[in-house]
Amino acid sequence: MTITRDGRTWAPEFLIAIDPKTCIGCGRCFKVCGRDVMTLQGVTEDNELVPLDSSADDDDDDDEFVRKIMTMADAGNCIGCGACARVCPRACQTHSSDPAALEQAA
């Protein structure tokens, strides 16, 4: 349990998973997270992940993948604020404050 600046209690809910079947790769969660917890990747026809080159033109990678999804990049950097969950239109993220779930997700 954590205490906010004005003394209220608050329990952080840390991001432990992103469902690749539900994620549409819109990037909203990535945009609100200032901690580099997630990264956008392409998915090939064979269901393999392809890193996206952020320095390249967006159209350059389109032939390599069939869709984009968000993946966990640095779960340990999550502070449990829940901003990503609030903006996700598909509710594809799993959050937890349970130490056992956090350990299993690491």
Number of domains in the chain: 1
Q: What tokens were used for 58?
A: 């967006």
Residue 23 has pLDDT above 60, yes or no: yes
Q: Is residue 103 part of a domain?
A: no
pTM across the whole model:
0.84
pLDDT at 57 over 60: no
CB 28 within 8 A of CB 68: no
Q: Give the structural domain span for 45.
A: 2-98
Measure the CA–CA gap between 5 and 61, rounded to whole angstroms.
Answer: 45
| 59: CATH | 3.30.70.20
Q: Does residue 104 fall inside a structural domain?
A: no
Per-residue pLDDT, averaged over 22-27, amounts to: 96
Which single residue is written with the structure tokens 């056992």? 100
Query: What pLDDT, on the 0 to 100 scale, is given for residue 70?
Result: 97
